[in-house]
Amino acid sequence: MRLTKSSLRRQARTLRAELARAAPDAGERAAASIPDTVVAGASAASIYLPMRSEIDPEPIARRLRAAGVQILLPVVVERDAPLIFRAEGGPLAPDTAGLPAPAPGAEELDPDLVILPLLAFDMEGYRLGWGGGYYDRTLRALRARGTVLAAGLAFEAQKVERVPREAHDQRLDAVVTERGWRLF
């Protein structure tokens, strides 16, 4: 029997919470796994502010900053629309979804590297997110405008046999875990 997205989400949230408690250094190990060529090839990279048991991407951001990469944060400006990305460093304010994000007035840029959270991933590059579709819409829009590398940040144990998918779901280009970097 195949799992639905909602049932897989419930299981994945529980598993990720357990993994986060067991491996608090996962973000550091993942940051060390990103190939130097990926870091050197980025000029602007989006990370996220972690919620609940998501792996903290700050170690990745530190590595990117040290290489001169501009760090951006996602912003929800409209329900059912793609995210926009604003430069970090200024004050944070709740966005349309109530999440902390750079306040209006911060520089807005398109990233060429997107590090994004997930609940589960499969070996075909599909991810299961929270269910709002924000990253799917965003990756579709970014890909239409140019080249972007989308990399999920996950625990290796979040890998599943097959993520349920729909026509609008966007594939990842890579995933980075505490065990390494994997291109799809």
The structure tokens 């390494």 sit at: 180
pTM: 0.94
For the segment 69-82, the average pLDDT, to the nearest whole number, is 96
Domain boundaries along the sequence of the chain:
5-183
The pLDDT tens digits for 87-120 are 999 999 999 999 999 999 999 999 999 999 999 9
Return phi, psi of residue 120, to 5°.
-155, 155
Q: What is the mean pLDDT of residues 152-161?
A: 97
Q: What percentage of the chain has pLDDT greater than the value 70?
A: 99
pLDDT score for 131: 84
Q: Give the length of the chain.
A: 184
Q: Pick from 44, 47, 43: which is nearest to 74 by CA?
A: 47
Strands 70-75, 84-87: parallel, antiparallel or unpaired by DSSP? antiparallel
User: CA-CA-CA-CA torsion for 36, 108, 53, 24, nearest 10 degrees?
Assistant: 40
pLDDT for 132 equals: 87
Q: In this model, does residue 1 exceed pLDDT 80?
A: no
For residue 32, give both structure tokens: 């060390």
pLDDT, average across residues 120-149? 95
The pLDDT value recorded for residue 130 is 86
At residue 75, does pLDDT exceed 60?
Answer: yes
Do residues 73 and 86 touch, judged by C-beta distance below 8 A?
A: yes
What is the band of 2 on the pLDDT scale with cuts at 50, 70, 90? low
In the chain, % of residues over pLDDT 90: 94
Topology at the third CATH level for domain 5-183: Rossmann fold (3.40.50)
CA distances from residue 24 to 17, 104, 113, 148, 155 in whole angstroms, order as listed:
11, 33, 24, 29, 11
Give the pLDDT confidence of 54-73 residue by residue, as tens digits.
999 999 999 999 999 999 99
**Closest Cα to residue 165, out of 117, 129, 114?**
129
